[in-house]
Structure 1
Amino acid sequence: MSDDTLGAVRPAPSVAERLDRLPVLPTHRRITTVIGIGLLFDMYENNLSGTLSQVLRTDFALTATDVKLVLASVFLGQFFGAILMGRLADRLGRRRAFLVNLAIYSFFSLAGAFSPSVGWLIATRFLAGIGIGAEQTLSDSYLADVLPARHRGRLMAWAYTLGFCGVPAVGLTAMWLVPLAPFGVAGWRWLFALGAAGSAVVWAWRRGLFESPRWLAAVGRRAEAEALTARLEAEARSLGKPLTEPAAGRDADPSGGAPEPGGRGVDPGSAVPSGPFLRQLFSPGLRRRTVQCWLLCLLSTVGYYGFGTLAPLVLAAKGYDVVQGLGYTATVFVGYPVGALLAVPLMDRVERRFLVALSALGMAVAGLGFAFAGSASTVIACGFAYTLVSNVFSSASHVFLAEQYPTRIRAQASGTAYSLSKLTAAALPFALLPVLERGGPGTLFATIAAAMVALAAAVVLLGARGADRTDEAGAPVGSS
C-alpha cells in the first residue's frame, strides 16, 4: 500500500536537501571562481617569505635567528587567524568573516612593503598572517556549505587549481622583480604591494557573495535561507535543468535530529552536544575524526610547507646562487596548479582518505629524490613531481577536512584543526633549518618523509571506510 493511500505526507525538504539536489549552476561556477582568485592571493602570500628568504637575508643582513623569525611570523599569525576567524564565521556568518580577513591581510601586506627594519617586517608578516590564516578554512567552509554535495569535491578542486597558480606566480614575479628596483624601490617591496593590491580587488568582488543558506538555517534565520535557496532553484528551472526529489528519509537540518543521508538514521551518540566547544569536538560521534583531523593538520605542514618554505634554502645549500635558485623555484612551483588540476578527476572517484594517504607517500618519495638530485635537470624534475603530488594531497585534504563537521560548528572546528598546521609551520624554521644546516638536504628530506609516512598511517587507520563526510548532526555520510 502506498504512502499516499495511508495519507502519509513527507515533510518538506530542508534547505540543505534542496541545495544538495541542485545541478551545477552558473552561480556555483562564479562562486568557485571568486573563491579561487582569493585563494590565489592567499597562496601568493603564503609563499612570499620563503621565496624571498635569501633576498631578505642579504637586504637586511639577517642573522640565522632573524631568518627563522621572518619565516615563522606569518605562520604564527595564521595560527591565531584560523581560530579567531573560524569562530567569527560560525557566529556572524561566512561572508562577513571573508571581508574581515581579506581587509586584514591586504592592509598589513602593504605595510610590509614599507618595512624599514627586520622588526617591522616580522610584525607586519605576523599581522598579515592573521588574515591569511583564515582564508583557506573560510573558503573550505563556504564552498562546503553552498556547493551541491555530489559536485563539491570536483568544484573545490577547481577552486584550488586556480588558487595554486599563486605559487608559481610569486616565484616568477620574484625572478623578474628581485634584480630590479622600479622607481628606485627594491623589487621585493613591490612583491608585497602587488599581493596587497590583488587581495583588495578580491575584497570588492566578495562583497557580492551571498551568505551561506546552510549557515542561515543553522542559526535560525530560516526566511533568508529559504529565499536564497529558492533563488538558486529558480535559476536551475530557468536553465531547463530538472530538480530531482531528495532521497527519502534525509534531513540535513542541523536542528532536526531526523535520519541522515541514505536513510540509516542518526546514531544518537554522534549528535553534536551543546556546551563548551572542545566538548563538542570530542563528543562520541566526533572524537575519532577530530583526532584524525588534528594529526593530519599537524603532520601535513612538515611536508607541504617544509618544501615550499625551505626549497630556496635547500637550493642554496646545493650551491645555486640567488637568481638560479629563484629560477629553479619558479619552475618547480608550476607543479602546484598542475597537481591541483590533476586532483579534479580524482576527487570524486577515490575515497578522500586514501587519496590523502597515497599522495602523502608520493611526497615522501619525490622529496628524497629532490634531496639527492645531482644535476639541475634532476632537481627540477623531482621538485616538480613533489609540488605536483603535494597539491593532489592539499586539494584532497582541504575537501576532506571541510566535510568532517556539521554546519553549525564547521568553520570553527575545521579552523581549529587547520590552525594546528600553522603552529607547526611556525615551528618549522626552528626545527628543520638546523637539520638542513647540520645534516644537509638528505637528512632534511628523510625527516619530512618520515612525517608523511606517519600521516598516511594516521589517516588510513583512524578513518572508517566510507566516513568521508558528516551530516548536519555529526553522523558519517559516506564517501561521495
Structure 2
Amino acid sequence: MDVAEKRVTIAARMDRLPLSRMHRRLTVVLGIGTFFDLYDIFLASVLTAILTSAFRLDTVQQALLLSSGFIGMFIGASAMGIVSDYIGRRTMYMVDLLVYSVFSLAAAFAPDFLWLVLFRFLAGIGLGAEPPLTDIYMGEMIPRYARGKYTAWCYTVGFLGVPLAGFAGNLLVKVQFLSLPGWRWLLIIGALGAVIVWFLRRSLPESPRWYEIRHRFNEAEKTLSVLEEEIRREHGLDRLPEPVPVVVEEQKKATFVEIFSGQYTQRTVMLWIFQILQTVGYYGFGSLATLALKEKGIDVVQTLQYTGLIFLGYPLGSLASVPVIERFERKFVIIISAALIAIFGLVFGFATAAPIIVVSGFLVTAVSNLFSNAFHIYQAEIFPTRMRGTAVGIAYSLSRITTAVLPFIALPALKLYGPGTVFIGSALIMGLVCLDVGVLGPRSTGRALESIAH
C-alpha cells in the first residue's frame, strides 16, 4: 500500500474544532436514538417473562422469542454497516429507524406467537445497525480529544432505556388499556419513540469525513465550512486553530478485503473473537437475568421489580464512565471491567437472598457499561473512516448472531443446572475476552494511530 505525503484532511480540520452546541446536540440526538435501541434489546427478556405464562411457551419457544430480534439484528448490522460506507451515515440512520418503527408497531398487533416472532425479526433488521452506526458517526463527528467522553454521554442517555424496559414491564404486566394488553403497549412505546427520533435526525449533517473518503470533496467542504463558521461565531473567535497535517493511506482494495490486510488483519481477528465472546457476559446477562430470577423461585411481578432495580446499573454505570473513559487506555478498561463482570456475575448466579441478588445484579450492569462504553469507542478508533462501517458493522453483527444462538443453549442449561452453573460458564468466557483483547488488541488512547488520524 502506497503512503501519501502529509496533508490537511477533513478529519484533521474536524479534530481541531472547539466543542460546541452542535457536538452536544448531536450527542443528545444519537443518545435518544440509542435509548430506543437498548430499550428494545432488553425488552426481549421482559416480554419472554410475561408471555411465557400468557402463551404457555415451552423452552424452545422462549428461546425463539428471545433470539428472533437478534437474528434480524445480525442481518441489519452486517448489511447496513457495509452499505453505510457507500450511501452515507445519516442516510442509513434514517433507513434503519424507519424499518424498526414499522415492524415494531406491527409486532404490537401480532395476532399470534409466530407473527410476533416474525415481526420481531424484521424490526431487528432495522435496529441492528443502530449501535455500530452510532459508534461510527460519533467517531467521525466528535474531535479526537473528546471522543471518549462524548460517546460515554451518548450511551448514558441511551441506557436510560434499559431500566425503563424493566419498570414499564412491571407496570404494564397486568394492565389492559384500550382493549390491548400491557405487553403490546411495551412494543408500541418503542415504535412511536423511534418515529420521534427519526424526525429529530433529519437535521443532522452527513459526516464530512465520509464525503471526503467517497471523493465528494465539494460536499465535504460545504458541510464542514458551515460547521466551522457556526463554531467560530459561537466562541467569538476571529479564526479557528490551525489543523495538523496527517499521513493518509489511500484505499487500494474493496473495504472487506482491506480489513484483512496489513495491520488491520490482527485488529479484525481480535474484534471478531471479542464480539462473539463478549455477548455471553454482556447481552447474556441482560437477556437471562429476568429468567434466572424466575428459576430462583421468584414470581413474575417481583422478578420485574428486581429487574428494574438491577437495570438501573446500566445508565448509572455509563454515567460513572464519563470521567474515567479519557483517563485510561481503552484496552485496559475493557480487560478490567470484563473481569469484574465475571466476578459479580458469579455472585448473582449463586445468590439466594434478595439484597445480594439485587446488589450483585446492579454491580454487573454498572460495570457492564464501563466495559460497553470503552469497547464502543475502541472499535471505532482502530479502523480508518474508509473501512470503519464495514469493519465495525460486520464484527458487531457477530455479537447479534451469538445472542440469537445463546438462548437455545443457555435456557436449557438454566433449567437443567441452575443459574450458578450458567454464570460459571459466563465467567470463563469473559476470561477469554480479557485474553483476546490483552494479546491481540492495539492501544488507542492518546496514540497517534493512523486509524484515529483519519
Q: 1:278 to 1:226 in 2, by over 3 A?
A: closer
Distance 2:315 2:330 in 1: 19
* 3-state SS of paired residue (2:175): coil
Counterpart mapping for 1:29-428 below 5 A: 29-238=24-233, 239-241=235-237, 243-247=240-244, 249-251=245-247, 255=250, 273-275=252-254, 277-428=255-406
Distance 2:90 2:430 in 1: 34
1:160 CA displacement? 0.2
Distance 1:215 1:465 in 2: 24
Q: 1:448 to 1:116 in 2, by over 3 A?
A: same
* 3-state SS of paired residue (2:240): coil
Distance 1:340 1:11 in 2: 37
1:237 CA displacement? 1.7
Q: Letter of the aligned partner of 1:104 in structure 2?
A: V
Identity, % of aligned positions? 45
Q: 1:128 to 1:466 in 2, by over 3 A?
A: closer
Instruction: State the structure with more CA Rg.
Output: 1
1:11 CA displacement? 7.7
- Per-residue CA deviations over 1:340-390 (Å, capped at 9, x if unaligned) read 111111111111111111110010001011011121111000000000000
Distance 1:61 1:115 in 2: 16
1:246 CA displacement? 2.6
1:201 CA displacement? 0.4
- Per-residue CA deviations over 1:141-172 (Å, capped at 9, x if unaligned) read 11111110111010000000000000001111
Q: Superposition RMSD on alpha carbons, in Å? A: 1.8
1:439 aligns with 2:436: no
Are the counterparts in 1 of residues 11 and 453 from structure 2 also a CA contact under 8 Å? no
Q: Which moved more, 1:232-241 or 1:341-350?
A: 232-241
Are the counterparts in 2 of residues 400 and 468 from structure 1 also a CA contact under 8 Å? no
Counterpart mapping for 1:452-463 below 5 A: 452-463=430-441
Q: TM-score, normalised by structure 1?
A: 0.90
Are the counterparts in 2 of residues 405 and 470 from structure 1 also a CA contact under 8 Å? no
**Following TM superposition, where does structure 1 have runs of at least 4 consecutive aligned residues deviating by more than 6 angstroms?**
467-470
Are the counterparts in 1 of residues 59 and 412 from structure 2 also a CA contact under 8 Å? no
Distance 1:466 1:298 in 2: 21
Are the counterparts in 2 of residues 218 and 407 from structure 1 also a CA contact under 8 Å? yes
Are the counterparts in 1 of residues 378 and 444 from structure 2 also a CA contact under 8 Å? no
- Per-residue CA deviations over 1:200-259 (Å, capped at 9, x if unaligned) read 100011111110000001101111111121122212221225632233x4245x64xxxx
Are the counterparts in 2 of residues 83 and 415 from structure 1 also a CA contact under 8 Å? yes
Q: How many positions carry a matched residue from both structures?
A: 448
Q: TM-score, normalised by structure 2?
A: 0.95
Distance 2:179 2:190 in 1: 19
- Per-residue CA deviations over 1:23-63 (Å, capped at 9, x if unaligned) read 11100100000000000000011111111212111121212
Q: Which moved more, 1:55-64 or 1:36-45?
A: 55-64
Distance 1:200 1:387 in 2: 28
Q: 1:466 to 1:139 in 2, by over 3 A?
A: closer
Distance 1:148 1:171 in 2: 35
Q: 1:354 to 1:64 in 2, by over 3 A?
A: same
Q: 1:469 to 1:191 in 2, by over 3 A?
A: farther
Distance 1:456 1:469 in 2: 21
Bigger relative contact order (CA 8 A; separation at least 6): 2
Distance 1:158 1:284 in 2: 33
Are the counterparts in 1 of residues 6 and 246 from structure 2 also a CA contact under 8 Å? no
Q: Letter of the aligned partner of 2:428 in structure 1?
A: A
* 3-state SS of paired residue (1:52): helix
Q: Letter of the aligned partner of 1:288 in structure 2?
A: Q
Q: Letter of the aligned partner of 1:444 in structure 2?
A: V
1:23 aligns with 2:56: no
Q: 1:62 to 1:297 in 2, by over 3 A?
A: same
Distance 1:251 1:11 in 2: 4
Distance 1:63 1:300 in 2: 27
* 3-state SS of paired residue (1:345): coil
* 3-state SS of paired residue (2:324): helix
Q: Which stretches in structure 2 are left out of the alignment for 5+ residues?
A: none
Q: Which stretches in structure 1 are left out of the alignment for 5+ residues?
A: 1-9, 256-271
* 3-state SS of paired residue (2:157): helix
Are the counterparts in 2 of residues 177 and 188 from structure 1 also a CA contact under 8 Å? yes
Q: Which moved more, 1:388-397 or 1:54-63?
A: 54-63
Q: Letter of the aligned partner of 1:351 in structure 2?
A: E
1:466 CA displacement? 4.8
1:279 CA displacement? 2.3
Distance 1:174 1:463 in 2: 39
Are the counterparts in 1 of residues 330 and 443 from structure 2 also a CA contact under 8 Å? no
- Per-residue CA deviations over 1:263-289 (Å, capped at 9, x if unaligned) read xxxxxxxxx5414x4421110120111
Are the counterparts in 1 of residues 80 and 129 from structure 2 also a CA contact under 8 Å? yes
Q: 1:240 to 1:416 in 2, by over 3 A?
A: same
Are the counterparts in 2 of residues 468 and 477 from structure 1 also a CA contact under 8 Å? no
Distance 2:60 2:443 in 1: 45
Distance 1:364 1:460 in 2: 16
Distance 1:351 1:378 in 2: 32
Are the counterparts in 1 of residues 73 and 124 from structure 2 also a CA contact under 8 Å? yes
Q: 1:109 to 1:469 in 2, by over 3 A?
A: farther
Are the counterparts in 2 of residues 82 and 137 from structure 1 also a CA contact under 8 Å? yes
